[in-house]
Structure 1
């Protein structure tokens, strides 16, 4: 292991938050970005078969427990909090179309979206307010967070599954037609919900 790799390892171990290549470079005295990236890739390979892993989530790196060992560290079984259908649909639309406004979410879903649905996703830490659209009314726009990528084990949004992968996994049946109706290009969206009023209605 090189001195750079040791320094990166120590920095990630001591850090309270995941660190980007730029942050690691500054922490290590403006080390060249290429050296940092090479060191991170070497460390990720070194830890690949260990109880701890060094992983990238949203362009930031950190240690995490190997997925197959996580159950050993849970002293009690966590109660799974299931998202409502509406929240699941909204989360998928934000993930595949971000940044996106509430009106755009409603246009894709074909139904109104309550503010409470967005609040639930923000409280979970999976979506965030990303600014305002520069159009009349300047509507708030939403995007996913690094916590969203971390929870679903994604390095970036490029790792989101496409329609072919979802179909192969059997996740489009029996709502495939409704699902594909919401897709733009090759980006998968979600099935239509019937638990909220059609968009534009009282």
Structure 2
């Protein structure tokens, strides 16, 4: 196929790339599709058009921290989950509390986490978070012992369908037990094409 000549053809190229890539595509990645012949503003316009085109379909185009991706709409998750006989990974309350503390107060040390939670942090929880690439060591605090400082990663943002940390639910939402927060990780068993 020759280089796309109009915005309709360019939109089709974008759509094909987004539907077939296993990872979110950044704007820079998408610009490579057009050999430098497209402006960022045009690319954003085409992404907005694609998002609108898919608004009534079973898939949606979403932006996460690493870029853009297609994923199945949430209402189809129970059906898609039937394709994988393995149970989706469940995370303990302690792990999710630890992750929330890191996300909202980063960078933090294990001591900071223990102070907030009121209990010692299980080393396996920190190991799981590091192995899942949801957190990373971003430095050491300049105090005796130089404890590691932890912060969330782009993978955390991508897996929770967030573009930035500012999209996290407000801390006030956690103070009201009648509010059910639906912050769940995006896993292979959850609705996604990738």
Give the TM-score normalised by the residue count of structure 2.
0.72
Match of 2:19 among 13, 17, 20: 13
- Aligned counterpart, 1:43: 50
Moved more, 51-60 or 147-156: 147-156
Please give the secondary structure, in 2, of the residue aligned with 1:100. Answer: coil
Note the residue ranges of structure 1 that are not aligned, 5 or more in a row. 173-202
Measured after TM superposition, the shift of residue 18 of structure 1 is 0.9
Cα distance in 2 for partners of 1:169, 1:46 equals: 38
Which structure carries more relative contact order (alpha carbon 8 Å, separation 6+)?
2
Measured after TM superposition, the shift of residue 82 of structure 1 is 3.5
Match of 1:3 among 6, 9, 18: 9
| 1:126-141 aligned within 5 A | 127-133=134-140, 135=142, 138-141=146-149
**Does the Cα contact within 8 Å between 1:149 and 1:155 map onto a contact in 2?**
yes
Please give the secondary structure, in 2, of the residue aligned with 1:64. Answer: strand
Please give the secondary structure, in 2, of the residue aligned with 1:94. Answer: helix
Measured after TM superposition, the shift of residue 134 of structure 1 is 6.2
| 1:1-202 aligned within 5 A | 2-30=8-36, 31-73=38-80, 74-76=82-84, 78-123=86-131, 125=132, 127-133=134-140, 135=142, 138-167=146-175, 170-171=178-179
Note the residue ranges of structure 2 that are not aligned, 5 or more in a row. 1-6, 181-194
Cα distance in 2 for partners of 1:159, 1:54 equals: 17
Decide whether aligned partners of structure 1 residues 153 and 16 sit closer, same or farther in structure 2, where only a CA change above 3 A counts: closer
Measured after TM superposition, the shift of residue 91 of structure 1 is 0.7
Alignment root-mean-square deviation, CA: 2.8
The aligned length equals 171
**Does the Cα contact within 8 Å between 1:4 and 1:35 map onto a contact in 2?**
no
Cα distance in 1 for partners of 2:20, 2:104 equals: 34
Cα distance in 2 for partners of 1:22, 1:164 equals: 37
Measured after TM superposition, the shift of residue 96 of structure 1 is 1.1
Cα distance in 2 for partners of 1:17, 1:77 equals: 23
Measured after TM superposition, the shift of residue 167 of structure 1 is 4.7
